[in-house]
Amino acid sequence: MDGDKGTSALSKGSKTKAKILKTALKLFSTKGYKATTVRDIAGAMGVKQSALYNHFKNKDEILETLIGDLTSSAIVHLFDDRDPHEAAKSGKALLAGIGTKFKLLSFDGQNEALYKLLMQEMFRNERVREIYNEHFYQENVKKLSTYLFMMMQEELIRSSDPLMLANEFFAPLFFYQMQVSLLKQDKKSTSSVVSLFEKHVEFFWESIRIEKKESLF
């Protein structure tokens, strides 16, 4: 019934369902859930409103489905699941990778829409808040803090509160992602913000790294 995306032999049915979700996401993220009507969604895909009810029980179920998809979205899976110890040893490269991932996600249309939906619904929908907090925030910050802790043990970075550091690394990336999203909405240039992603990684790393001992000289 579901799953199996990417298969070209999909029954037309599930293709339509996917189209509804895609269209709804675009509209929800632009106008907000409440301000988007069932007619808007149907109209945008060249179909009458009643057709949607063959695929979803009601409007709420469309939102629920999108919210459910959030959990498997790219924005909640920041880390490749490679060996943690190896990852930690790579030091700055690991952080640079995360920075780049954030930057790229800012420019991925699908992710951008999900991000905007998240930001708008978070404040009025407890379930969205829960997903944001557990999957998007907590999970990533915790994972990051364990990496940072390992880096401390490897004496790559100075010893301090890993959770604090993880937050300090995470927060600006989140913020810059928001800035990109806002600028793009008005078709303004994003170049100044884009450079901030890299500058952040650089600045952060310089703040925590242990200067190589001049024992070589």
Partner DNA sequence: AAATTATATGAACAAATGTTCATATTTAAG
Partner DNA sequence: CTTAAATATGAACATTTGTTCATATAATTT
In 3D, which of 197, 34, 32 has the Cα closest to residue 105? 197
Rounded distance, CA 127 to CA 70, Å? 11
Burial class (CB in 10 A: 0-12, 13-18, 19+), 64: middle
Shortest separation between residue 40's beta carbon and DNA, angstroms: 7
Q: Which residues contact 156 (CB under 8 A, 6 or more apart)?
A: 88, 89, 91, 209, 210
| Residue from 22, 43, 55, 64 in contact with DNA (CB under 7 A) | 55
> Is 18 an interacting residue with respect to DNA (CB under 7 A)?
no
Shortest separation between residue 64's beta carbon and a second copy, angstroms: 16
The listed partner (a second copy, DNA, none) that binds 123, CB under 5 to 8 Å by sort, is a second copy
> Is 205 an interacting residue with respect to a second copy (CB under 8 A)?
no
| Residue from 2, 3, 6, 48 in contact with DNA (CB under 7 A) | 48
Number of residues that bind a second copy (CB under 8 A): 40
Which residue, 4 or 206, is less far from a second copy as judged by CB? Answer: 206
Q: Which residues contact 120 (CB under 8 A, 6 or more apart)?
A: 28, 29, 32, 33
* Tokens read off for 106: 């800012």
The listed partner (a second copy, DNA, none) that binds 30, CB under 5 to 8 Å by sort, is a second copy
Rounded distance, CA 40 to CA 101, Å? 33
User: DSSP string of 97-122?
Assistant: HHHHHHHHHHT-HHHHHHHHHHHHHT
| Residue from 4, 11, 15, 34 in contact with a second copy (CB under 8 A) | 34
Shortest separation between residue 12's beta carbon and a second copy, angstroms: 33
Q: Which residues contact 161 (CB under 8 A, 6 or more apart)?
A: none
| Residue from 37, 100, 160, 185 in contact with DNA (CB under 7 A) | 37
Q: Which residues contact 81 (CB under 8 A, 6 or more apart)?
A: none
Rule CB under 8 A: which of 117-146 touch a second copy? 119-120, 122-124, 126, 129, 132-133, 137
| Residue from 47, 96, 183, 194 in contact with DNA (CB under 7 A) | 47
| Residue from 23, 29, 36, 145 in contact with DNA (CB under 7 A) | 36
Rounded distance, CA 178 to CA 103, Å? 11
Shortest separation between residue 98's beta carbon and DNA, angstroms: 38
Residues near DNA (CB under 7 A) are: 11-14, 16, 35-39, 47-51, 53-55, 57-60
